[in-house]
Amino acid sequence: MGKKALVTGSSRGIGAAAARRLHADGWDVVVHYHESEREALALAAELHTIAIRADVREPDEVEAMFRAVGPVELLVCCAGVADFNLLSDVKEPLWRNILGTNTDGTYRCCREAIPGMVHEKSGCIILTSSVWGRYGASCEAPYSASKAAIIGLTKALAKELGPSNIRVNCVAPGPILTRMLTQYDFIDLDALAQDVPLGRIGRPEEVAELIAFLASDRAAYITGQIIGCDGGYGM
């Protein structure tokens, strides 16, 4: 088996594509899920690995997940949720759910993964922000805020962990064909695609290629970077 990787939110979307791509590169990938058990078990069977459930909003569940998985050489944080609402209509539970999943969940997974990497003086962490974390999106203030925090966390951790030979980078996807875009109808999706210089919505597999590159030795001198995969949307 290859080196061990944990990909959170890997039952579907970008996380699932990343798990498949990393497996193809020889990584021993652990599949993580929260609610999508059927998809996670199917992917785990496909990759000849295990699927483990944890709610990243809950510290005890994240700690239990890492006890079960053990030390990892690669952590890829893809678990995330979104919503489309005016901020004045966002109630406290919705705000806490989005920040709790996207930001706090990422923090908790990093916190658990780091000690083993520091002990080995080796490791790689790849976080997932968004083009909207860089530039903001109307009617997506909680999501934009949660993803902007990931950018700051990436830069801080890269400086903190660099002396231990641990690289930390961040991918910032643009519009990608995942379940998060189901809130848009065909007309809205077409309009969104027209705002992308390449004229189309991206695929999860295209983000997965960037993640695989950042996880590889080809990116051995790259850390602290926020790298877009957005068809030029963020220009």
Strands 28-33 and 4-8: parallel
CB 42 within 8 A of CB 65: no
Residues 6+ apart with CB under 8 A from 17: 203, 204, 205, 207, 208
Distances (CA, A) of 104 to 98, 99, 100, 185: 9, 6, 5, 30
Strands 51-53 and 226-229: unpaired
143 is catalytic: yes
| Active-site position among 143, 184, 221, 233 | 143
Going through 9-147 in order, the beta strands assigned E by DSSP cover 28-33, 51-53, 74-77, 123-128
Going through 34-91 in order, the beta strands assigned E by DSSP cover 51-53, 74-77
For residue 67, with 0-12 CB atoms within 10 Å meaning exposed, 13-18 middle and 19 or more buried, which class applies?
exposed
Helix (H) or strand (E) holding 167: strand 166-173
* Active-site amino acid positions: 143
